[in-house]
Structure 1
Amino acid sequence: MKNLPPLNGLRAFEAAGRHLTFQAAAQELDVTQGAVAQQVRALEAQLGVQLFDRHSKGLTFTAAGRGYHAQVQAAFATLREATETLLPEADKVLISVTPTFASKWLIPNLPDFSERHPDIDLRIVATEKVSSFHADGIDLAVRQGNPPFGASLDAHLLFKQEIIAVAAPELVNKISPDMDALASLPRIHDAHSLWPKFLGNAPSKHDALHGLQLSQTALAIDAAISGQGVALASRFLLRKEIEAGNLVQVVPEVMTGDSDFYLLVRRDTRKRPAVAAVIEWMTQASAPHGQHPRPT
C-alpha cells in the first residue's frame, strides 16, 4: 500500500485525462485549475514518469500516460461499482435538464413514466448550469449541441431543433399567415435572440429585437399563451399547448437550429436497469409523433 500514489493525484489525473484540460478537470472536481495541475505534477514526480505533454490549448497523453490512464480509469470504475453494490440505489436516477425542458416537456410527460415505472425515483435537476456527471452525481443529462460530447458519454438524439412562431389564437385570428403579417405583431424574446434570423428579409427586420424580453424560453411560451405576443420555440416544447388550443403556429415557416437535443449517459452507468429504463422511455416518447402504447 505504501507504494500507491495519493488518491487526490489519481483523481486529478483521471479527470484531466478525460477532459484533456486542467480547467475542465478543475470544474468537475470543484477545485482550482492550479490545484489540479499541481496534483498531476506531484503524481508524475512520484512515479518518475511524464504523463501529459502540456500545450497552450490543452493536454495530450504521453505513451506511458495513455496506458496508465486506461488502467486508473478502470480502477475508479471498479470502485464505483463496488460502492453501488454495497449501497445500491438502482431505483434512483438523477437527470439534469434546463428549466424549460423540465416544465414544457419532461414534467408534462412524467405521469406516463410513473405509471410504467413506479419503482424508479426519477430526480430532476433543472438548471441552466451545465451539471457535471461526476462531481454532481448526474446519471443522465439533456444537452443541446452536436456530437461528440465526450469519450465517456453515449448520446441519444431526442429532438431535432425546429423553431416555429406561436401565439394565442385570439392574437392572430384576423391576420394572414405570412411573414409580412408576422413582422407587424408584438414579439416575445428569450435569451436565445432568434428573432432577427427568423424574420430574415421580412419587413421591420430592424425592429427584430424590440418587444418583451424574458430570460427563459418557458417564460416566453407562457407570455405567448397569455396573449402578450409571438414567441419562438422548439416545436417539441409547444406540442401539448398547440394540441390543447392554447397556441397556434402563426406562419408555416420553420427555422432549423444549429444544434439538436440529445440525451447523454455515462458509459459506466448506462446498463443499470433503472438508467436503461429511463433512456428507453425518453427515446420512445421523443420519437416523431411518438406515443407509448398503453401498458397492459
Structure 2
Amino acid sequence: MSQLPPLLWLQAFESAARTLSFTAAGHELGVTQAAISQRVRLLEDRVGQKLFVRHARSLTLTPAGQAWLPSIHDAFVRISEGTLEVFGSTSEQPVTLRATPVIQQSWLARRLIAFHRAHPQVAIRLVSAIWPDDFGPEGADIEIRYGKGEWTGIEMQPLGEEHLLPVCSQALAKTLSAPEDLAGHTLLHAVGFGVGWPGWLQEAGVAHVEAQCWSLTCDNQVMTLALASQGGGISLTHRRLMEQRSDLVAPFDITVPSDERFWLARPSRRHISDEAGLVWQWLCDSIE
C-alpha cells in the first residue's frame, strides 16, 4: 500500500473487532451501524482481504483480521499514551465509572458516598451499562463487569464468589415453606446470566416444578427485583445484591453457585490518572 488507510476506517475496524458487533462499534464511536459497516468494507477493499466473516446476527474475525487487530489496537493505545504524555490531562476531567444499574444500587452506591465524603475534590461520572457490548476500554476509567473474567488487556479484581438464591416480598414468602410451593407462582427471569431458574430448581431437587410456574422475563435485574418487591413473583438474584435490600427476603436457604461473578476492571495499558487510581484503590479496599 502506498499510504495508510484513513483513521476513521481503522477506528471502525478496531472497535468492531474488539466488540464483534457493528452496532456496538457504532454506539461507541457515535455513528450508525451502517456507517461502521461501510467503513469496514472500504478498509477491506483497500487492504485486499476480508477482515470479518459476517453471520446472520454476529461477526467473527478472519485469520487476517485476527492477525492485524493487535497492531491496530496497540497503535491507538500508543497514540493515546503519547497524547497524555505531551498534553497531560486536565484536573477537571472526571473519573468515569461504568457499571450495571443493579450493581450501582446494591453494591456501589454506599461505597461512592463514603468515597465522596472522604475525597469531595474528585469528580466522578457514573455511566450505566446492561449488555456485554456496553462495556469496553474506551470511555471508562473503571468498570464493574459481570462474567467469567475472560477479557484480554484488562486488570481485574473479583468482588468474590457468587451464589444465587430466590427472593420475593415478605407477604409472598409467608406462603412458601418448601421449594415445591413455587408451583403456580410467577418466576421472574433476567436474561444474560449463565445460571438461571433451571439451575436453581435442579439444585433444589424440584426441576419438574418449572413446568407448573408462570414466567416473566426482563432484560435486567433491576426490573425483576422491583417486580419481586411488589409481589409480582419470585426473582433469582445474587446474594451480594441483597446487601442493602430491606424490601426483599429469601424464602429458602438453598443457593446455587455460579462460575460468573462481578469484577472491578480497568484497561491494563492505559495511563491512569491520580484520581482514577484513588477511586480504584478505594473500591479494591472495600471488597468484603
Distance verdict in 2 for CA 1:261–1:90, change over 3 Å: farther
Q: Within 5 A, what are the aligned runs for 1:84-103? A: 85=88, 87-89=89-91, 92-103=94-105
Distance verdict in 2 for CA 1:226–1:274, change over 3 Å: same
> What are the ranges of 5 or more consecutive residues in structure 1 without an aligned counterpart?
45-49, 291-296
- Find the counterpart in structure 2 of residue 186 from structure 1: 185
Distance verdict in 2 for CA 1:207–1:66, change over 3 Å: closer
Identity, % of aligned pairs? 19
- Provide the C-alpha distance between the structure 1 equivalents of 2:52 and 2:154, rounded to a whole number of angstroms: 25
- Find the counterpart in structure 2 of residue 155 from structure 1: 156
- Provide the C-alpha distance between the structure 1 equivalents of 2:86 and 2:70, rounded to a whole number of angstroms: 25
- Find the counterpart in structure 2 of residue 236 from structure 1: 240
Distance verdict in 2 for CA 1:204–1:70, change over 3 Å: closer
Distance verdict in 2 for CA 1:83–1:229, change over 3 Å: farther
| 1:152-178 superposed Cα distances (whole Å, 9 cap, x missing partner) | 3222212433111122334334653x3
Report how far residue 273 of structure 1 moved: 1.8
> What are the ranges of 5 or more consecutive residues in structure 2 without an aligned counterpart?
54-59
- Provide the C-alpha distance between the structure 2 equivalents of 1:236 and 1:120, rounded to a whole number of angstroms: 27
Is 1:205 aligned with 2:210?
yes
Report how far residue 117 of structure 1 moved: 2.3
Report how far residue 84 of structure 1 moved: 5.7
Indicate the structure (1 or 2) with the bigger Cα radius of gyration. Answer: 1
Residue 142 of structure 1 aligns to a residue in which SS? strand
Residues 12 and 40 in structure 1, CA contact (< 8 A), matched pair in contact too: no
Residues 169 and 247 in structure 1, CA contact (< 8 A), matched pair in contact too: yes
Q: Between Structure 1 and Structure 2, how many residues are aligned?
A: 269
Distance verdict in 2 for CA 1:198–1:37, change over 3 Å: same
Residues 52 and 61 in structure 2, CA contact (< 8 A), matched pair in contact too: yes
Residues 14 and 69 in structure 2, CA contact (< 8 A), matched pair in contact too: no
TM-score (norm. length: structure 2): 0.74
TM-score (norm. length: structure 1): 0.72
| 1:10-49 superposed Cα distances (whole Å, 9 cap, x missing partner) | 5456557x7396858944444423413423653x5xxxxx
Is 1:131 aligned with 2:162?
no
| 1:166-222 superposed Cα distances (whole Å, 9 cap, x missing partner) | 22334334653x3223x24733413338323322241533124x0555443222223
- Provide the C-alpha distance between the structure 2 equivalents of 1:179 and 1:41, rounded to a whole number of angstroms: 59
Residues 162 and 259 in structure 2, CA contact (< 8 A), matched pair in contact too: yes
Distance verdict in 2 for CA 1:10–1:80, change over 3 Å: farther
CA RMSD of aligned residues (A): 3.7
| 1:53-76 superposed Cα distances (whole Å, 9 cap, x missing partner) | 8574414469x9589647634531
- Find the counterpart in structure 1 of residue 57 from structure 2: none
- Provide the C-alpha distance between the structure 1 equivalents of 2:234 and 2:199, rounded to a whole number of angstroms: 15
- Provide the C-alpha distance between the structure 2 equivalents of 1:119 and 1:76, rounded to a whole number of angstroms: 29
- Provide the C-alpha distance between the structure 2 equivalents of 1:233 and 1:161, rounded to a whole number of angstroms: 10
